[in-house]
Structure 1
Amino acid sequence: MNKLQKANEYIQQNKNNVNNRPIYHFSPEIGWMNDPNGFTFYQGKYHLFYQYYPYDIVWSDMHWGHAVTENFIDWEYLPVAMANDKAYDANGCFSGSAIEKDGKLYVMYTGHVDPNLGFDKVESEIAERQCIASSEDGITFEKHKLNPVIGEKQLPEGYLICDFRDPKVIEVNGVYYCVLSVRNAQRRGEIIMFKSLDLVQWTYHSSIFQSTFEENKLLECPDLFKVDEKDVLLFSEMPCDPEYTKDVPNTTAYLIGKMDFERGKFTPDDKGLLDYGQTFYAPQSTEGKDGERLLIGWMHRWNQTNPPKEYGFNGMMSLPRKLNVINERLVQQPFIDTQNYFSPSVIGEIVQLTEGEEMHIEGKTTGFLEVVVPKTSGEFTIKLNKEGEKSTNIKVDVENNVLLLSSDYGDEGNIKVEDLSTNSDENIKLSLYIDLHSIELFINSGEKVVSFTAYDRDKGKDIMLVGGEKAELKRIVYGGR
């Protein structure tokens, strides 16, 4: 039995043992999931591939899982698309992207070779090379006979083949470009670009972004696209070596600027964070069916305790986010039908809470909560998943323009967001999407986003608003299911 058959048979035989999966955030049928891969709209549906290990809830040999959707809430799971069954990807089919060419769906991924996988790393024995596979139907894939198509021959001197991964392929004026993350000889992260006319023969083009030595960062999962006439470069940041783990958080950044493809030069104008939480990484974007730019990311809280093993799964995706550039800022809005799914309604208008006064909302397992606050308001706290003395707390200090998130669930760690009221509106709007193991907060229609995850069993459903000094809430909207 080959590896693909083995994985698919295991899933079918064991998936019914899985429990406590998220309700409307995508998660694997069984086992471990991390980065989104090959996110694309193809033959009338959105295809999401993902880093996948079906046999346990911990990271191991990476396969490519596969599912499709039309609305990002109802998903159809398809057979595993790829397994690590070739010499060039023997220890994992790592992350990559998808592109349509001549009616076929092509995916480009990193073939990972590490004979010591699971044990101490020996960098001189690790190789990451880029590979191609194609499909007539978007379901069954054939790996190209010339794989790997980008390896030591194409990678210039000064870069390390042991950290050379995550190809994102785009087409511009009949030319294919691929951005990749790589570790340079100084052991720091760079984003480099290759080009091709046929997706098979690739040549090095340029280096388009370099982290500084002092930042101590390795870069992963680059993405390059145009939205609202601006070029946007995304990448995830992580410590370049273990000794910097406490100093360098795992985050995802964006650069807005101008990409000159002919010269291979990216000129950044503005930089920002995609998410201010501790739980959003390795996102990938695609063009939606109506031309919009959509993004989805892996929700994973680094150094957090895994879910209970008896859950049978580990990992979930964020809500899809529609991207726009507004006032030189990358704005993200949830791309699901909030009205039809949650049926939210106004449950309070012009609510004034004295210090310590409580407003209770009977919550359901999942929910959408929106709180609109005038900029003249004072402090208040939103308590979510309340059960006894436990809750996840979002304290909003309007006067000082700051938001603090803390929780009695999950591992310790606080999140602070400053400069809430950057828009010209007289109000601050907080839109919260609550699922079984996650909260996503969109501030001012996505000017800033905060995500949070916790796999605790005992989280409550109820919601409480608690007044602080001069708390005034203009409108409260809630819908649960």
Structure 2
Amino acid sequence: MTNEKVYHKIKEDLDSYYQNKDSNIWRNKSHIEMPFGLVNDPNGLSYYNGKYHIFYQWNPFGCEHKTKHWGLVKTADFVNFSKPEIILKPEDWFDKNGCYSGGAYVKGDTLKLFYTGNVKDENNNRESYQCIVDYHKDGSFKKKGPVIPKQPEGYTAHFRDPMIFVQDGTYYMILGVQRDNLTGAALIYKSDDIEKWEFLGELKTDKENFGFMWECPNLVKVSKDKYALLFSPQGLEAEEFKNQNIYQSGYMIGELDLNNVELKKHTEFKELDMGFDFYAPQVFTHDGQNIMIGWVGMPDKDSEYPSAQNGGWMFPLTLPRVLEYKNDVLYQKPLEKLENLRETKIVDIKDKVENNYEIKLDNRNVEIKLNLNIEQNNCINLKFKFNDEYISLTYDKLSEVCTIDRNNMELGGRGIRKFKLKAEKSLDLHMFIDNSVMEIYYEYGLETTTFMYFPKSDDFKIEIQSDNNININKLCIWNLRGVRYE
């Protein structure tokens, strides 16, 4: 079958999927995911031509990390989306083994896409090319090939994930890289015209030996004089309350000095999400808000996601989150447009005292806002129950530790995640639950956990338990409508 016929068949399969109902109980309704194949990093996030453009890594041919393409969906409201389409294909000499991650920048009427072309020879030796694409309002685009053909001396070919930002009228690019001594770093380039790039140097930080690779770096302006460096370091040592996943995603905030290529006076690295499944987030700015979307997944853990065998698909993207800077911390909150997903409010409780509270829900596509008075409680436990399986969320006020426990689930990843959380008089939780994804915001976005789960049953109950009476300040639950692809 020719390439043209292969991609025509993919389009036909997409059209057929959206004309029929998917009965798979793990198929998510409000999260972006593909009908088939493997999705990972969000790419090229941007607001262009009146719509949010969400590109993403996609292997449409199977559930393996191979043949990476760039897919695209567009939306104005995060309810109605364009049907997925393939934009970038690994079919040129400079990207023949994969169109890897990168960002986008709106320049005039053109959306400039930047990505890493991955090339391997017969001995599996890697070359990485930083490439540019002109994407136009009518959906047409032109690959223009490499603008940075090779990594600088002193670095391996693990050199990828270009992101663009502007300061004082000059374009800058940040990339993740591995040094020859097998430690991770980020590099900075600059350009006057966004086409020709000059190497400035390695971004200096206090993290000289911080993992073996830094993936997907972003430099985001968060205040008048502060930038956040978001990145996904690989190879950090696990601690009791930190770095519990195989790889991390987090940030440091400091003063960006591009003359000296340095992030000065920066904070310690803080993880962006304390759940099991969050990686490679990307940030773009629209209407003065820094908006982040991440990948709900984790590299090198494919056996933990049974949807590949039972459904032929792997991984969604997170719902969009707004980053708000306060006291050298990035708080996260759901993008306000996500309220468009609310269909029916099914629970609205205020100031209720219960010995034990349980509610049965008719579906697993809901938004929940819960605020508990915990002045008389030392321990709060939420159980998400699926017949004889459950996931528990426990908050211990005395030790200030929150625990997510998936060990009572049979399928998919299991394990425990613990993190520190300070809540005194009340505990505030904001949850988005989908058929196989949970995103939970704690204490108004001070912490979040994102993770996948794969229940055997459609039966769904939520139970709240405590060592004392449960004082519900507020509980609101909405059924959410599924997103539509048209």
Q: Same fold (TM over 0.5)?
A: yes
Note the alpha carbon deviations across 1:454-481, whole angstroms, 9 max, x for none: 2444353221222334543322222224
Distance 1:112 1:249, change over 3 A: same
- AA partner of residue 174 (structure 2): V
2:281 corresponds to: 283
User: How many residues are aligned here?
Assistant: 459
- Superimposed CA distance per residue, residues 287-312 of structure 1 (whole angstroms, 9 cap, x where no aligned partner): 12x22110100000452234143413
Q: Deviation at 1:61?
A: 0.6
Aligned residue for 2:93? 87
- Cα distance in structure 1, aligned partners of 2:244 and 2:381: 29
8 Å Cα contact 1:367/1:478 also seen in 2: yes
1:295 to 2:297 alignment = no
Q: What secondary structure is seen at the aligned counterpart in 1 of 2:266?
A: strand
Change (3 A) 1:175 1:24: same
1:21-100 superposed matches below 5 A: 21-100=27-106
Shift of the 337–97 alpha-carbon distance from structure 1 to 2, 3 Å rule, reads: closer
Cα displacement (A) at 1:389: 2.0
What's the offset of the Cα at 1:12? 1.9
2: CA distance, partners of 1:94 / 1:205: 23
1:460 match: 459
Within 5 Å, give how 1:276-355 maps onto structure 2. 276-288=274-286, 290-302=287-299, 303=301, 304-337=304-337, 339-342=339-342, 343-344=344-345, 347-354=348-355
Cα offset, 1:413, TM superposition: 1.2
Deviation at 1:373, TM superposition (A): 2.0
Q: 1:69-100: per-residue Cα shift (whole Å, max 9, x none)?
A: 11223221243111011111110010011111
> Separation in 2 of the partners of 1:127 and 1:338?
40
Distance 1:210 1:160, change over 3 A: farther
Residues in 2 aligned to 1:78 and 1:167: alpha-carbon distance in whole angstroms = 23
For 1:418-437, list aligned pairs within 5 A.
418-421=420-423, 426-437=425-436
Residue 262 of structure 2 is matched in structure 1 by 265
- Aligned partner of 2:222 in structure 1 is 227
Question: In structure 2, what is the equivalent of residue 207 of structure 1?
Answer: 202
Paired amino acid for 1:148? P
Identity in percent: 25
- CA offset digits 1:128-175 (Å, max 9, x no partner): 11011112226222111xx321123xx3311112x0000001222221
Distance 1:160 1:210 in 2: 20
CA distance in 2, matches of 1:98, 1:308: 30
> What is the CA-CA distance between 1:269 and the residue it aligns to?
2.5
Distance 2:381 2:162 in 1: 42
Gaps of 5+ in 2: 238-242, 481-486
The 1:336/1:455 distance shift into structure 2, 3 A limit, reads farther
| Corresponding residue of 1:142 | 142
How far did residue 2 of structure 1 move?
6.8
TM-aligned CA distance change 1:228 to 1:108, over 3 Å = same
1:248 deviation in Å? 6.8
- Distance in structure 2 (CA, Å) of the matches to 1:157 and 1:387: 54
Contact 1:345 1:478 in 2 (8 A): yes
Match of 2:159?
Answer: 164
Instruction: Describe the superposition over 1:251-293 as per-residue Cα deviations: whole angstroms up to 9, x where unpaired.
Output: 11111111122332221432311101121111111112x2211
Q: CA deviation at 1:233?
A: 0.9
Contact 2:17 2:35 in 1 (8 A): no
> How far 1:399 sits from its partner (Å)?
3.2
TM-score normalised by length of structure 1: 0.88
Give the structure-2-normalised TM-score.
Answer: 0.87
**Where in structure 2 are the equivalents of 1:381-460 lying within 5 Å?**
381-384=381-384, 386-407=385-406, 408-409=408-409, 410-421=412-423, 426-460=425-459
TM-superposed deviation, 1:339: 4.6
Q: For structure 1, which runs of at least 5 residues remain unmatched after alignment?
A: none
**Which residue does 1:368 correspond to in 2?**
367
Determine the C-alpha separation between the residues in 2 that align with 1:314 and 1:338: 23
Q: Check the 8 A contact 2:42/2:280 in 1, yes or no.
A: yes
| 444-453 vs 203-212, greater mean Cα deviation | 203-212
Provide the residue aligned with 1:476 in structure 2.
Answer: 475
The answer as to whether partners of 2:37 and 2:60 remain within 8 angstroms in 1 is: yes
> 3-state DSSP class of the match of 2:42?
strand
For 2:117 and 2:230, the matched residues in 1 are separated by: 22
Tell me, yes or no, if the aligned pair for 1:255 and 1:268 is still in contact at 8 Å.
no
1: CA distance, partners of 2:3 / 2:167: 36
Q: Do the aligned residues in 1 keep the contact of 2:279 with 2:298 (CA within 8 Å)?
A: no
CA RMSD of aligned residues (A): 2.5
Relative distance call for 1:437 and 1:463 in structure 2 (3 A) is same
